[in-house]
Structure 1
Amino acid sequence: MAANGQRRRRVWAVFATTAALGLTVTQAQAASGGGGDPFGVRALQQQALLNQQKGLSAFAEDPGDEDEDESGNIAEQADQYAEARTSPGIVAPGAYGAAYDQLSGLPHTGGSWSDLTKLPYDSDDPRYRDINSNSSGGAGRVTGRVTGLAADSHGYVYAGSANGGVFRSRSGGGHWTNISDRLPALSTGDLQLDPGGRLWYATGEANTSATAFLGTGVYVLHDPRKGSFSRHDRVGGDELESTSINALRFGGSKVWAATTRGVWSHSTKSLKGAWKLEFAPNPDYLPGGSKAADPSAAYKNITSDIAIDPKNPGKVVLAVGWRGGDTYNGFYARSGGSWQRLTGLGDLPSNSEDVGNVTFARSADGSRYYAIDQSPEMTAENPDSGLEGIFVSKSGSPTGPWTKIADYTQLRDSGSALTGDGYQPGIQAWYNQFLTVDPKNRDHVYAGLEEVFETKNGGTTWSVPGPYWNFGFPCWSVDPSKQSGDCPASTHPDQHAVTIGSNGGAPYVIVGDDGGTYRRPVNGAANAEGHATDWRPLNDGTMDALQYYSVGVGTDPAGRGLAVTGGLQDNGQSMLRPGDRVMGSNFGGDGADTITDPANGCNIAQEYVYLAVSVTNNCAVNDGSWVTDPSKATSYSVPPPDNATGEARFIAPLNADIKDKNTWVAGGRHVWINSHGYAIRSGSEWFGAYDLGAGHTATAVASSGGKVYAAWCGPCNNQGFTRGIVVGNADGTGWHQLTLPVDGTVPNRYLSGLAIDPADSDHVLLAVNGFSRKWTEGPGAGVGHLFESRNGGVSWTDISGNLPDVPANSVVLLKGGAVAVGTDLGVLVRSSSRAGWKVAGDNLPTTAALQLRTGPDGRLYAATHGRGIWAIDVRRLR
Structure 2
Amino acid sequence: MLTTLGLTTSQALAAPTPGAKPWQVRHLTETGHRHAERIASGPTAAAAEGGGEDEGDEAENSAEATEQFTEARTAPGVVAPGAYGAAWAQLQSMPHTGGSWDHVTGLRYDSDDPRYRDVDSNSSGGSGLVTGRITGIAADDDGYVYAGGANGGVFRSSTGGGHWRAVSDQLPSLSTGALSLDGSGRLWYATGESNTGATSYVGTGVYVLADPRNGEFRPGDRIGGPELESTTIHALRFAGDRVWAATSRGVWSHSTTDLSGPWTLEFAPNPGYLPGGADAKAPNAPYKNIANDIAVDPKDPSKVVVAVGWRGGDTYNGFYSRAADGSWQRVTSLGEMPAGAGDVGNVTFARSKDGSRYYAVQQSPTRTATDPDSGLQGVYVSKSGSPFGPWTSIADTDKLMASGSALQDEGYRPGIQSWYNQFLQVDPNDADHVYLGLEEVFETEDGGAHWTTPGPYWNFGFACWSIDPARQTGDCSPTTHSDQHAVAVGSRGGKPYVLVGNDGGIYSRPLNGTLDAYGHAKDWKSLNDGTIDTLQYYSVGVGKDPADPSGRGVVVSGGLQDNGQSVLRSHDRVMGSNFGGDGADTIVDPDNGCNIAEEYVYLAVQITRNCAVNDGSWIDDPAKATSYSVAPPDNETGAARFIAPITTDQKDARSWVAGGQHVWVQHKGFAIRSGEEWTSAYDLGAGHVATALASSGGRVYAGWCGPCNNSGFTRGIAVGNADGTGWHQLDLPVGGALPNRYVSSLAVDPADAQHVFVAFSGFSRAWTEGPGAGVGHVFESRDGGTTWVDVSVNLPDVPADSLRLLPDGGLALGTDLAAFHRAPGEKDWKVLGSNLPTTTVMQLRSGPDGKLYAATHGRGIWSVDPRRLDARG
Asked if Structure 1 and Structure 2 have the same fold, meaning a TM-score greater than 0.5 normalized by the shorter chain, the answer is yes
- 1:5 to partner: Cα distance: 11
| Greater Cα shift, 3-12 or 482-491 | 3-12
**What secondary structure does 1:815 align onto?**
coil
1:468 aligned residue: 457
Q: In the superposition, relative to structure 1, how do residues 652 and 38 fare at CA in structure 2: closer, same or farther (>3 Å)?
A: farther
2:790 aligned residue: 798
1:731 aligned residue: 723
Distance 1:685 1:293 in 2: 47
1:274 to 262, 268, 275: 262
Whichever residue aligns with residue 583 of structure 2, its letter is: G
Cα deviation, 1:238-282, whole Å, max 9, x if unaligned, reads: 100111100000001000000000000000011110100001000
Distance 1:37 1:471 in 2: 14
- 1:78 to partner: Cα distance: 2.0
Listed as ranges, the matches of 1:844-863 within 5 Å are 844-863=836-855
Listed as ranges, the matches of 1:610-759 within 5 Å are 610-759=602-751
2:313 aligned residue: 325
2:34 to 25, 33, 41: 41
Is there any run of 5+ residues in structure 2 with no aligned partner, and where? 38-54
Distance 1:164 1:72 in 2: 18
Q: In the superposition, relative to structure 1, how do residues 175 and 660 fare at CA in structure 2: closer, same or farther (>3 Å)?
A: same
1:183 and 2:171 aligned? yes
**What secondary structure does 1:41 align onto?**
coil
2:302 to 311, 314, 321: 314
Whichever residue aligns with residue 297 of structure 2, its letter is: D
1:819 to 811, 819, 830: 811
Listed as ranges, the matches of 1:557-572 within 5 Å are 557-559=546-548, 560=550, 561-572=553-564
Whichever residue aligns with residue 268 of structure 1, its letter is: T
| Greater Cα shift, 67-76 or 373-382 | 67-76
- 1:834 to partner: Cα distance: 2.1
Whichever residue aligns with residue 566 of structure 1, its letter is: G
- 1:96 to partner: Cα distance: 0.6
1:61 aligned residue: none
**What secondary structure does 2:226 align onto?**
coil
Q: In the superposition, relative to structure 1, how do residues 434 and 607 fare at CA in structure 2: closer, same or farther (>3 Å)?
A: same
Distance 1:429 1:441 in 2: 25
Q: In the superposition, relative to structure 1, how do residues 170 and 297 fare at CA in structure 2: closer, same or farther (>3 Å)?
A: same
Question: Would the aligned equivalents of 1:246 and 1:303 in 2 still touch at CA under 8 Å?
Answer: yes
Listed as ranges, the matches of 1:580-619 within 5 Å are 580-619=572-611
1:761 to 746, 753, 760: 753
- 1:718 to partner: Cα distance: 1.2
Q: In the superposition, relative to structure 1, how do residues 128 and 210 fare at CA in structure 2: closer, same or farther (>3 Å)?
A: closer
1:578 to 560, 570, 580: 570
| Greater Cα shift, 834-843 or 595-604 | 834-843
Listed as ranges, the matches of 1:414-493 within 5 Å are 414-420=403-409, 422-483=411-472, 485-493=474-482
- 1:634 to partner: Cα distance: 1.3
Cα deviation, 1:186-208, whole Å, max 9, x if unaligned, reads: 00000000000000000000211
1:171 to 142, 159, 163: 159
Distance 1:211 1:599 in 2: 33
Whichever residue aligns with residue 77 of structure 2, its letter is: G
Question: Would the aligned equivalents of 2:12 and 2:368 in 1 still touch at CA under 8 Å?
Answer: no
Question: Would the aligned equivalents of 1:613 and 1:639 in 2 still touch at CA under 8 Å?
Answer: yes
- 1:37 to partner: Cα distance: 3.9
1:518 and 2:507 aligned? yes
1:344 aligned residue: 333
Cα deviation, 1:282-302, whole Å, max 9, x if unaligned, reads: 011011111011110000000
1:828 aligned residue: 820
Corresponding pairs, count: 845
1:294 and 2:272 aligned? no
* TM-score, scaled to structure 2: 0.94
Whichever residue aligns with residue 398 of structure 1, its letter is: P
2:51 aligned residue: none
2:800 aligned residue: 808
Question: Would the aligned equivalents of 1:71 and 1:428 in 2 still touch at CA under 8 Å?
Answer: no
**What secondary structure does 1:662 align onto?**
strand
Distance 2:725 2:12 in 1: 33
**What secondary structure does 1:353 align onto?**
coil
1:382 and 2:398 aligned? no
Whichever residue aligns with residue 335 of structure 2, its letter is: G
1:264 aligned residue: 252
Question: Would the aligned equivalents of 2:17 and 2:25 in 1 still touch at CA under 8 Å?
Answer: no
Whichever residue aligns with residue 388 of structure 1, its letter is: Q
Whichever residue aligns with residue 215 of structure 2, its letter is: G
1:47 aligned residue: none
1:837 to 829, 836, 861: 829
Is there any run of 5+ residues in structure 1 with no aligned partner, and where? 22-27, 45-66
Question: Would the aligned equivalents of 2:224 and 2:261 in 1 still touch at CA under 8 Å?
Answer: yes
Listed as ranges, the matches of 1:25-424 within 5 Å are 37=30, 41=34, 70=58, 73-208=61-196, 212-335=200-323, 336-420=325-409, 422-424=411-413
- 1:795 to partner: Cα distance: 1.1
- 1:6 to partner: Cα distance: 9.0
Distance 1:280 1:515 in 2: 34
Cα deviation, 1:148-192, whole Å, max 9, x if unaligned, reads: 000000000000001110000000001000000000000000000
Listed as ranges, the matches of 1:766-777 within 5 Å are 766-777=758-769
Cα deviation, 1:511-541, whole Å, max 9, x if unaligned, reads: 0000000000000000122100000000000
**What secondary structure does 2:406 align onto?**
coil
Distance 1:770 1:472 in 2: 43
Cα deviation, 1:344-394, whole Å, max 9, x if unaligned, reads: 210111110000000000000000000010000000000110000000000
Distance 1:686 1:669 in 2: 14
Q: In the superposition, relative to structure 1, how do residues 713 and 466 fare at CA in structure 2: closer, same or farther (>3 Å)?
A: same
Whichever residue aligns with residue 626 of structure 1, its letter is: W
Distance 1:20 1:606 in 2: 24
Whichever residue aligns with residue 454 of structure 1, its letter is: E
Whichever residue aligns with residue 235 of structure 1, its letter is: I
- 1:71 to partner: Cα distance: 6.7
- 1:42 to partner: Cα distance: 8.0
Q: In the superposition, relative to structure 1, how do residues 289 and 358 fare at CA in structure 2: closer, same or farther (>3 Å)?
A: same
Question: Would the aligned equivalents of 1:69 and 1:422 in 2 still touch at CA under 8 Å?
Answer: no
Whichever residue aligns with residue 41 of structure 1, its letter is: R
- 1:33 to partner: Cα distance: 7.5
Question: Would the aligned equivalents of 1:148 and 1:160 in 2 still touch at CA under 8 Å?
Answer: yes
Distance 2:199 2:120 in 1: 29
Q: In the superposition, relative to structure 1, how do residues 209 and 351 fare at CA in structure 2: closer, same or farther (>3 Å)?
A: farther
Distance 1:558 1:72 in 2: 33
CA RMSD of aligned residues (A): 2.1
**What secondary structure does 2:69 align onto?**
helix
Distance 2:636 2:510 in 1: 45
1:780 and 2:768 aligned? no
Whichever residue aligns with residue 821 of structure 2, its letter is: V
Question: Would the aligned equivalents of 2:12 and 2:372 in 1 still touch at CA under 8 Å?
Answer: no
Question: Would the aligned equivalents of 1:405 and 1:459 in 2 still touch at CA under 8 Å?
Answer: yes
Distance 1:338 1:740 in 2: 51
Distance 2:296 2:389 in 1: 12
1:49 aligned residue: none
Question: Would the aligned equivalents of 1:7 and 1:380 in 2 still touch at CA under 8 Å?
Answer: no
Cα deviation, 1:62-119, whole Å, max 9, x if unaligned, reads: xxxxx98527843432221111111111111101100000111100111111100000
Distance 1:40 1:631 in 2: 26
Q: In the superposition, relative to structure 1, how do residues 436 and 39 fare at CA in structure 2: closer, same or farther (>3 Å)?
A: closer
**What secondary structure does 2:431 align onto?**
coil
- 1:623 to partner: Cα distance: 1.4
